[in-house]
Amino acid sequence: MSAPVVAIVGRANVGKSTLFNRIIGERLSIVEDVPGVTRDRLYAKGEWNGVKFDLIDTGGIEMDEEDEMGNLIRVQAQLAIDEADVILFLVDGRGGLSVQDEYVAEFLRRSKKPVVLGVNKLDHHSHHAQSYEFYSLGFGEPIPLSAEHGMGTGDVLDRVVELLPSYEEEAIDEDAIRIAFIGRPNVGKSSLVNRLLGENRVMVSDVAGTTRDAVDTPIIRDDQKYVLVDTAGVRRRGKVYESIEKYSVLRAVRAMERADVCFIVIDAERGIAEQDKRVAGYALDAGCAIAFLVNKWDAVDKDDKTAHRFEEEIRSHFPFMRWAPILFVSALTGQRVSRALTLARDIAENLVMRVQTSALNRVLADAQVSVAPPSTKGRKLKLYYGTQASVRPPTFIIFVNDQELSHFSYERYLENQLREAFGFQGTPIRIRMRTRS
Ligand code: GDP
Ligand code: GDP
């Protein structure tokens, strides 16, 4: 089971994103400053008094089409109800109780999910009495806070954590390879999953589904166990917010975090879209092994260069993932779909590959000779030695004279050298420079 979810809801401008940022603090995601990778802050990991949870800012959900009044807030509330274990309902204590607050409250009451009511923008103790009028919403004692000044947020989190269901980190079956299918709506994710379920032995799972119906389905092929992660999310249809991009991204992120392998599914007919890049950015962040599945290959008019051209296109759109293999498949005909499982097995192996320290340091030494490390203001970066700190994904620490002298481009170069020497196909690798005085 993944960590419990807390969702912040409330009408516009009550301070949802301010509170969201305050709760997650300054923790930056790893790829946030990688050029070309866009992402939105809508979802992040939070922690309070040692209790971990996932936090969603439903205010980040937007809709393309203008709709009747109140529709957006209804969608946001519905999202919170569907995804969250505890709902943090935020209102504006200075603005006072509004019709929209009542509207949201009615929705939340019907859901029977636990709700914590926070009354924001009460920046001084003398304002706290303004929270009383919100008693009428029917969620017990309103908690006064100031997200901007960081006051009262601890009281809110105390209450939230109290209401969270207890959970144990999932006992991961180490022998199984966990696969998440991600991509835009209609690229064929559920068709691929259905095809795999149809062609392989599906094991009955005795793992209870969570409240968020994140059902994982184990299958067996050639004595290897695979788990298709969040098959319910992939196959579910017809909810009002299904087509809302950020929602599907959110769902995908949660699946990727529980996966060893992410298949980024691309529609061969429609090509690559902006959303695919965002999803790829999240996949990089999640640290799983990654491959592209170009689906609907049956529907494309092909000559001997078509696959090559498509490959070039993927490489140019995802320059930081040149190491991710590409497989052309068809869920419709079944072409190469079972190859995808073999591929998953191969790249999952690379995800946990360890290299010998001696071999690593030979590569680093050679790399320094071939391309000299950068200099800043007459000072040159010196690499002393490296060590592999962890796997999943492989992470290397390189001790240097001054980590401030390192450049993104030089780290990229070292990454390429490591890949050339050791393979690592299909897995991200991370390099950290540490000053050794
Ligand atoms: P959202 O639309 O609910 O996500 O609201 P935002 O977080 O964007 O905040 C809306 C406005 O309220 C911004 O101008 C914030 O600076 C302001 N704001 C948020 N929290 C507080 C607070 O605790 N006190 C005061 N005075 N202003 C706040
Ligand atoms: P999802 O939203 O990503 O889960 O996509 P679906 O699996 O629901 O597929 C969307 C549409 O594409 C459906 O009409 C499928 O029949 C069609 N489709 C899926 N895979 C293929 C394929 O390999 N070839 C063709 N021609 N159509 C496909």
What pLDDT score does 63 carry?
56
Longest dimension (CA), the chain: 75
Distances (CA, A) of 372 to 277, 378, 383: 32, 13, 10
- pLDDT tens by residue, 341-386: 999 999 999 999 999 999 999 999 999 999 999 998 889 999 999 9
Closest residue to atom 26 of ligand 1, CA basis:
121
Distances (CA, A) of 8 to 22, 48, 141, 143: 12, 16, 17, 14
Binding-site residue positions: 10-17, 57-61, 120-123, 183-190, 230-234, 295-298
Q: Residue 12: nearest ligand to its CA?
A: 1
Q: How many A from CA of 197 to the centre of ligand 1? A: 47
Q: Which atom of ligand 2 is nearest to the CA of 265?
A: 3
Beta carbons within 10 angstroms of residue 405's beta carbon: 19
Q: Residue 152: nearest ligand to its CA?
A: 1
Mutate to test the pocket of ligand 1, among 13, 24, 122, 155 (most ligand atoms within 8 A of CB): 13
Cβ-based neighbours of 46, under 8 Å, separated by 6 or more: 6, 23, 24, 52, 53, 54, 55
* CB-based contact 340:205 (threshold 8 Å): no
Q: How far apart are CA 154 and CA 373, in angstroms?
A: 46
Of 421, 375, 371, the C-alpha closest to 396 is 421
Task: Report pTM.
Answer: 0.76
Q: Please give the chain's pLDDT, 437 residues, in tens.
A: 568 899 999 998 999 988 998 888 755 444 444 444 444 567 777 889 989 898 888 876 665 554 544 577 777 788 788 889 999 999 999 999 999 899 999 989 988 899 999 999 999 988 888 999 999 999 999 999 999 999 999 999 999 999 998 776 656 677 899 999 998 888 999 899 999 998 887 776 544 444 345 578 889 999 999 999 877 666 665 555 555 666 667 778 888 888 999 999 999 999 998 878 878 888 888 899 999 999 999 999 999 999 999 999 999 999 989 999 999 999 999 999 999 999 999 999 999 999 999 999 999 999 999 999 999 888 999 999 999 999 999 999 999 999 999 998 999 999 999 999 999 999 999 999 999 87
What pLDDT score does 169 carry?
61
What pLDDT score does 376 carry?
86
Q: Residue 332: nearest ligand to its CA?
A: 2
Q: How far apart are CA 203 and CA 183, in angstroms?
A: 26
* Pocket-forming residues, ligand 1, beta carbon under 6 Å: 10, 12-18, 59, 120-121, 123, 146-149
Q: How far apart are CA 144 and CA 155, in angstroms?
A: 9
Exposed e or buried b per residue across 313-323, where buried means at least 16 C-beta atoms within 10 angstroms of its C-beta: ebeebbebbeb
- Interface pTM, i.e. ipTM: 0.77
Q: Which atom of ligand 1 is nearest to the CA of 149?
A: 23
Closest residue to atom 19 of ligand 2, CA basis:
188
